[in-house]
Structure 1
Amino acid sequence: MFVIGGQHGDEPSGWMAANEIAQWQPDTGKLVVIPEADQTAIRDRTYTGDNGNLNRSWTIGSDPTRLLAREIWDVVEEHDPDVFFDLHSSFGIYGSDWGPDGVGQAVHPTPHDYAPRLASAAATYINRNFIPDNYRNEYNFQRGPFSAGDIPTFTGKVAVDLEKPGFTVESTRYEVPLDRRVTWTRRVVTDVLRHRDVI
């Protein structure tokens, strides 16, 4: 399992959840976590750091465009993971008719193997168990559109170049406390792995 967080420094729930996941001790297999991928963006709490937008560096079908992305991809190739998670947060809410537009509160899978089914299952699990009653409906998670390489994102590169299951997890930053977003993000990863009998 490979987890990356912190591609965008102003999305702390992603890199904070990744730091928590990095402490896990799996019973079997291998866990590889890069929790704070773009450290200059995290330091400055900005969307982009010295590397520009790291999550647009993942050129499909060839080497990533930026040195940092190439170094991260070298780690991917070294470990050859079976499943991937990219942890983010959006200001908006995917498909919202009441809040700001965005990709938050969604699990965006690659179209491979079990990924679409488990993205839907994880969204349902979070909604039933971790969305407070006063947040229901407006903040429910759903399965987002496929990450299939139409944009040069990390998960898109996983989808096209590796043809493996991957998930971009996006909580929303819109009027949600940080600790709650971290919990939602971490729990999505946990539920996907639970259904996959990894943990």
Structure 2
Amino acid sequence: MKRRAVLAAGATVAGSVVAGATVGATRGARVGATRGATTGDDPEPRPPSPAAETTVETGAVRPGTRRETPYFEVGSDDSGPTAVVVGGVHGNEVSGYRAAERIAEWEVTNGSVVVVPWANVVAVRRNEREGPDGDLNRQFSIGGEPETPLARSLWELVAAADPDVVVDLHRSRGIYGTHGRWVGQALFPTAAGGATSDADAVADRVNEAVVPASMWAHRFRRGNTLGGTSPLLIHKVSADLDTAGVLVELTEFYLDVDTQVRWTELIAERLLSRHGIERRGSAI
């Protein structure tokens, strides 16, 4: 069965995730203002323009509510692995949701990528870390139901996708291991699915390919392993799905937003490649 069919079936059962229409009209369209534009800190979500010849299906998390936010499933004509990419869990972490918007514009050669660019859309529009229900990334109770309707709906979507890997995109103020509690420039893997090896390999690759030698302090490293000890999305992926996942943290310390977005997207690309999902026209 195609992953898109699996997702649609899961959405029907869940009830809070509604499978939408295939965006067939976008086939052949070129990437518009989002691609290559200055990202800035404008908090308004920017609907992606899918790449030519890409099959995209859409749906919504929490449809018909103030917290309604779309997801995009980018797929190839071939079956294969599935990834889930989430941005905007914290609404003021611009590089995470801007990178997710760009990932929703990819053309992949096999499998599919389910992208939720603006998970906490109210917080994104306010440019605030937390939404009306508090910190979304503290609501994914381990071994049970998430604590709020938004967290439950997002989790239902992740579980219905039956992912091979989940990538959660964030931004921090400082650098992991340098600036106290800040965690930028680090990849935090699950204890499941070989994610620690993924984090090491991708950090090494991105450091070699894109981080300038003069910016040695901004080299990426693997953070601590997330095995299910806290109510974070990636902790729950590890403990409840026994699936590979990585929490990606960029820093805003001496790093402009455009660079944050570009590096975040490249990290996601290499993580998905490790699980057999290849982006056509790979950047590294």
1:17 aligns with 2:96: no
Ranges in structure 1 where 5+ consecutive residues have no aligned partner: none
Amino acid at match of 1:181: Q
Q: For 1:64 and 1:172, how far apart are their aligned partners in 2?
A: 28
1:106 aligns with 2:182: no
State the structure with more CA Rg: 2
Q: For 2:122 and 2:214, how far apart are their aligned partners in 1?
A: 36
User: Does the Cα contact within 8 Å between 1:54 and 1:69 map onto a contact in 2?
Assistant: yes
Amino acid at match of 1:128: E
Equivalences for residues 19-34 of structure 1 within 5 A = 19-34=101-116
Corresponding residue number in structure 2 for 1:193:
272
Higher strand share: 2
Q: Structure 1 residues 11 and 135, CA, compared in 2 at 3 Å: closer, same or farther?
A: same
Amino acid at match of 2:97: W
Q: Structure 1 residues 77 and 101, CA, compared in 2 at 3 Å: closer, same or farther?
A: closer
Q: 1:195: how far off?
A: 3.0
1:163 aligns with 2:245: no
Corresponding residue number in structure 2 for 1:64:
146
Please report the TM-score for the alignment, with normalisation by the length of structure 2: 0.67
Amino acid at match of 1:109: P
Aligned partner (choices 176, 179, 189) of residue 255 of structure 2 = 176
Amino acid at match of 1:55: N
- Which fold has the larger relative contact order, with Cα–Cα distance below 8 Å and residues 6 or more apart in sequence? 1
Corresponding residue number in structure 1 for 2:65:
none
Please report the TM-score for the alignment, with normalisation by the length of structure 1: 0.94
**SS of 1:31's equivalent?**
strand
1:29-71 CA-to-partner distances (Å, cap 9, x unmatched) read: 1211101000111111111011210000101011100110111
Q: For 1:147 and 1:173, how far apart are their aligned partners in 2?
A: 23
User: Does the Cα contact within 8 Å between 1:91 and 1:100 map onto a contact in 2?
Assistant: no
Higher helix share: 1
Corresponding residue number in structure 2 for 1:127:
207
1:88-139 CA-to-partner distances (Å, cap 9, x unmatched) read: 011121111xx45411100100012321111001111111111123212x11
User: Does the Cα contact within 8 Å between 2:202 and 2:267 map onto a contact in 1?
Assistant: yes
Query: How large is the RMSD of aligned CA atoms in angstroms?
Result: 1.2
Aligned partner (choices 47, 70, 77) of residue 129 of structure 2 = 47
Identical aligned pairs, as a percentage? 38
User: Does the Cα contact within 8 Å between 2:86 and 2:167 map onto a contact in 1?
Assistant: yes
